[in-house]
Amino acid sequence: MSARSSSGSLTRRGFVTRAGATGLTAAASPIGLLARDAKAAPPDGTPEQIHLTYGDDPSSSMFVSWACAAQAVNPRVIVHGATAGQTVFHAVQRTYTDGLNGQTVFTYHAKLDGLEPGAALRYSVTADNDRNRALPFTAAFQTAPRGRAPFRWTSYGDLATPVTSWVLSSPQSRYAVQAVERFQPLFHLLNGDLCYANLNPAAQPAVWADFGNNVQVSAAHRPWMPCPGNHEIEFGNGVQGFNSYLTRFSLPSNGTAFPGLWYRFRIGSALFISLSADDVIYQDSGAFVAGPEPLRPVASTGNAPIEPGTSLYVHGYSKGAQTRWLEQTLSAASKDDGIDWIIVQMHQDALSSSENGNGSDKGLREAWLPLFDRFGVDLVLCGHDHDYERSWPVRGCNRHVGRDATTGVPVDTCQPRPVITAEPPDGYFDTTSGTIHLILGGGGTSAPLDAYGVDPASGMPQAKVITKPNRPIPGAAAGTFTKPGADALEAAIWSARRDTDTGYGIAVFDLDPGAAHGKTSITIRYYHAAGADRLPTAEYQLFETLVLAKQRRDARPRTTK
């Protein structure tokens, strides 16, 4: 294709460099320079999969990102002024060629900066070879407020796509996107396992495209802030397999050698920290060839067949860089009197008692929960197990109280210790004394996991715990491989609420900054899609409400806006 030939070409327009593992080239050259055959139809640069993400400062910057079927010519975003005038922001191109099917994916990223806080802005996305150039895609978004202000966000993970021919996709995925729009949040947190492209190895880019076009219904109007999950790990797409994810999303910088995999952003009195849990978990759940046949990339990739029993296990990939960054970030936040709340987003679960899902991972308990304790993280939002589970606030852990799932011998699972085990008398959870974990894995997959462990002896909640790597082992059939499940069990004394009706839902968070010397609160409402385990539904009903409340950390007089 002519489009490929221009990779690395310079442009007459602004060229923004960006470090990273993914392919970055300049914005496309003029179409006349690309076309080898003047009679050929021009490549289609019509924007699709349009989505927003925050830059480093959500009150003044926003990325607009999208993809095209072919290379876009002069890709750009036009921001329409409130009165008159337009501002044009040129986009940079980032590409990758899928390591399994050889498809080259063209993505575009325009960084809109210098924006006013709390402003509503209309924008258009186009290119010289946009089929809709006369009437380009246009939407509006709102920048985050600056300073203490109320705002709403929503969250879930494990979304998949509505195209049911893809593994793990379900019509519920479309309803889940509509649910975000129903609640009109300032932004949405998407907690990993975005579309399960790695379970459809011959067509990974097509799965991503269906995902991108599904979420555009919401993500073109408000930022969707993702974290990577195990199903973002793809064979042939980078050392850790995250190249597709990283090519498609522009995210706040983290100043490390791993841009885009973890980041933070602040809105008002809340600091949001997004993590890449595959770096510290024990579980092996990335791309995997079960056999008996090898996975054969198409010849154009030049990649060798991937033998049965191969898994892309990335535990420890940052060599501690992520945990050091996390500690520095939390330490700085703990000294900032303008930050009342610290919310962590990550995919895998430190506290999950799903019976038919993955369970809890001790790697998280060892690497990050002590930091959450030390610096007072209020909330941890996850996915991975496709259900809803809420923990009591937890601090510290009980040692040597688990047991091996097979032999029954004692195992140290680092069982998280709840600071309360009943609803607080005044109805308000004080997260200064413990961190609440929420599993919000009910985006829209075809595989709900809302059966939960119960100790047959006591009738009390019981959790599976992964305390060591579950690398592939030979399967029952010749030439096949499988991965063992969790190796340990523990009493889930930290489990406060489990939704046994459905695996699907959306959490809605309303932050009230409160007044100086007073309390600030976050009201959490979890809406679930009752009956969706059996039949996809657009109906989301309130399942439970809880309110977190604590003293504000500032002592300044209240400022009014």
- Tell me which residues touch Fe ion (CB under 5 A): 158, 193, 229-230, 384
CB of 445 to Fe ion, least distance (A): 6
Buried b (16+ CB within 10 A) or exposed e, 219-236: bbbbbbbbbbbbbbbbbb
User: For residues 109 and 95, is the Cβ–Cβ distance under 8 A?
Assistant: no
Contacts of 457 (CB under 8 A, 6+ apart): none
Closest to Fe ion by CB, 197 vs 330, is 197
Closest to Fe ion by CB, 51 vs 231, is 231
Q: Residue with structure tokens 């600071």?
A: 419
Closest to Fe ion by CB, 79 vs 168, is 168
Closest to Fe ion by CB, 233 vs 330, is 233
Whole-angstrom distance, CA of residue 343 vs CA of residue 372? 10
Whole-angstrom distance, CA of residue 177 vs CA of residue 515? 34
User: For residues 34 and 73, is the Cβ–Cβ distance under 8 A?
Assistant: yes
CB of 2 to Fe ion, least distance (A): 38
Closest to Fe ion by CB, 278 vs 340, is 278
Q: Choose among 529, 508, 536, 443: nearest CA to 158.
A: 443
**Torsion angle of the four alpha carbons 406, 199, 162, 504, in this order, in degrees rounded to the nearest 10:** 20
CB of 301 to Fe ion, least distance (A): 26
CB of 159 to Fe ion, least distance (A): 9
Whole-angstrom distance, CA of residue 156 vs CA of residue 280? 21
Closest to Fe ion by CB, 158 vs 450, is 158
Closest residue to Fe ion using C-beta atoms: 193
Q: Residue with structure tokens 């962590």?
A: 344
Q: Choose among 77, 142, 90: nearest CA to 116.
A: 142
Closest to Fe ion by CB, 90 vs 384, is 384
CB of 454 to Fe ion, least distance (A): 23
CB of 235 to Fe ion, least distance (A): 17
Q: Choose among 561, 542, 504: nearest CA to 183.
A: 542
CB of 162 to Fe ion, least distance (A): 16
